[in-house]
Amino acid sequence: MKSQHALKLLLSIYIFVFFAYLFGPLIIMSITAFNSAEFPAVTPWECFSWRWFTEGKVTYDGQRLAGLLADTKLHDGILTSLRIALGVVALSVPIGMAAAIVLTQVNSKLRTLFYSMAIMPVLFPGVVIGISTVVLWDRIASMTGGGAMADIGRNGVFLTILAQTCFISTYCFLIFVARLQRFDKTQEEAALDLGASQTQVFFKILMPYLMPAIASSAVIAFLYSFENYNTTVFSILSDQTLTTVIASKVRLGISPAISALALVIIAITLTAAISYEVLKRREEKRLAKIKQMQLHQAMPSERLMKNQKTGSRLPKSMFLILLICFGVIAGGNYLASNNLYGEKCIMAADEAKKSNFADQLKLLQQNVGNEGATTPQSGPTTGSQGFNNIFGDPNLFKNFGGFDSKTE
């Protein structure tokens, strides 16, 4: 028995560590979004600031680090991603639905083949799907010579929609298959028997039944499309989506603006998850109530009516929310009282840096004067190079330069 307790304790610790691993990096990243320093860090903490969500910052050496609101490239990327995602939803939901319905109609031999075919795209590496789409359409475009077909074949948004639809349709397909497994086919027969045409059966019986699957597959397709990188990076060609913008930003140097973006996405996801959960619980409660009412009707016994708890009972989650509010207030108070928030703090920090920078510049000029050498690698001369020594590896941002240097 004692070993059982030890095991349980061990398990609890493990679960805690696991979730800390899962959430820790995200939480830390979220915190760095509020640090006014141009490198995403928790320490040293400069000032609490919203600047990465808004206009960003012009550094002491004149480099412009755009915040979320000011980043037009990012906005364009988001718009492109939105267009692609809508296109993918419009294609993959009907495709997945059609495939799942037909799967229920074919005989068992054909079904295995068809099913394997339909799920294959998920097992393909994303890059492969992107590449195969691009090479095919490039060929089509060059074969047709010029004109509309060539334009389409070299249109990154169009190609990306096709490439993503290839595998996102499978996710939709699987959602529909799961829902259709529980479909009572006699409903279709009943509708037919009552005089409905096949088309009417589809729209009046099958579609309403599939509505939840349509909704969830649309959401899933949208999310998969929106966050896809591996396929998109090939098929988007010269355009930019949200993910390719993020990737190129990360490659060029990490900015707290990305943390801010991540935080926005986390907030949206959390809100969606929580509201979904709340809605689901409410629905479950409603169903339970109906069931109980039915039971009550069938057997009118007072004992069966559960004593509805009366009185004001606050849900436990309220305490959590209160705790968070309290934490935020205390934290804000701390930041304000220590002069770590607001214009003053930021100005002070910038001032300190500028003077620091000026000192270093002077030192540098002295060095240059003394040795007559070129700019040493260790000295922060420009903003982007200034990040280099953060990683202790001057070659880090040659990531893709590294590719270039590799030749046959």
Partner 1 sequence: MSADVELQNISINFGDFYAAKDVSVMIKKGEFFSFLGPSGCGKTTILRTISGFLEPSQGQVLIGGENMAGIGPNKRPTSLIFQNLALFPLMSVADNISFSLEVRGHSKADRRARAEELLGLVALEGQGDKKVHELSGGQRQRVAIARALAIEPEVLLLDEPLSALDLKLRQKMRSELRAIQKRVGITFIYITHDQGEALTMSDRIAVMNEGRIEQVDSCQAVYEQPKTPFVASFVGENNPFYGEVTACNNSRVEVLCDGNKFVADISGRYHQESKKLTIGQKIILFVRPESISIKNSKTKTQNSFSARLDSIEFEGHLQNLFLTTGPGMKVRLNVPNAEEISHLTAGQTMDLTFSAQKAVVLPEGNLAVD
Partner 2 sequence: MQNFFAKNGPIISTYFLIAIGFWIIFLIVIPQLYMLDLSFRPNLPPLLRGGEEDVYTLTHYKHFLFGSETSKDAYNFVDLNVFFKTLATAVVITVLSLCFCYPIAFYIAKVAEHKTARLLIVSLIVPFWINELLRAFALRILFAGEGVINNALINAGLMDNAINFIGQDVALFTGLTYAYLLLMMFPLYNALESLDTNQLEAAKDLGSSTLRTHWRVVIPHAKAGIASGSTMVFMLTAGALATPVVLSSPNTFWFTQLIYQWFNMNDNWSRGAAYSVLLLLVSVVFVLLMMKLFRVKVGEIVK
For partner 2, the binding residues in 93-112 under the rule CB under 8 A are 94-95, 97-99, 101-102, 105, 112
The tokens of 356 are what? Answer: 């620091």
Residue 386 binds partner 2 (CB under 8 A): no
Q: Which of 84, 129, 236, 335 binds partner 2 (CB under 8 A)?
A: 129
Residue 208 binds partner 2 (CB under 8 A): no
DSSP, residue by residue, 263-327 = HHHHHHHHHHHHHHHHHHHHHHHHHHHHHHHHHHHHS--GGGS-----S----HHHHHHHHHHHH
Q: Which is nearer to partner 1, 70 or 192 (CB)?
A: 192
Q: How far is the CB of 194 from partner 1 (least distance, A)?
A: 4
Q: How far is the CB of 183 from partner 2 (least distance, A)?
A: 15
Residue 121 binds partner 2 (CB under 8 A): yes
Binders of partner 2 in range 215-254 (CB under 8 A): 223, 227, 229-230, 233-234, 243, 246-247, 250-251, 254
195 binds, among partner 1, partner 2, none (CB under 5 to 8 A by kind): partner 1
Stretch that binds partner 2, among 60-68, 160-168, 327-335, 336-344 (CB under 8 A): 160-168
Q: How far is the CB of 6 from partner 2 (least distance, A)?
A: 11
The tokens of 280 are what? Answer: 């689901």
Q: Which is nearer to partner 1, 193 or 404 (CB)?
A: 193
Burial class (CB within 10 angstroms; exposed 0-12, middle 13-18, buried 19+) of 268: exposed
The tokens of 250 are what? Answer: 């990360």
190 binds, among partner 1, partner 2, none (CB under 5 to 8 A by kind): partner 1
- Of 44, 45, 40, 43, which Cα lies nearest the Cα of 57? 40
99 binds, among partner 2, partner 1, none (CB under 5 to 8 A by kind): partner 2
298 binds, among partner 2, partner 1, none (CB under 5 to 8 A by kind): partner 1
How far apart (Å, rounded) are the C-alpha atoms in residues 305 and 59?
68
- How far, in Å, are 12, 44, 117, 277 from residue 19 at the CA level? 11, 26, 37, 19
First to last CA, the chain: 66
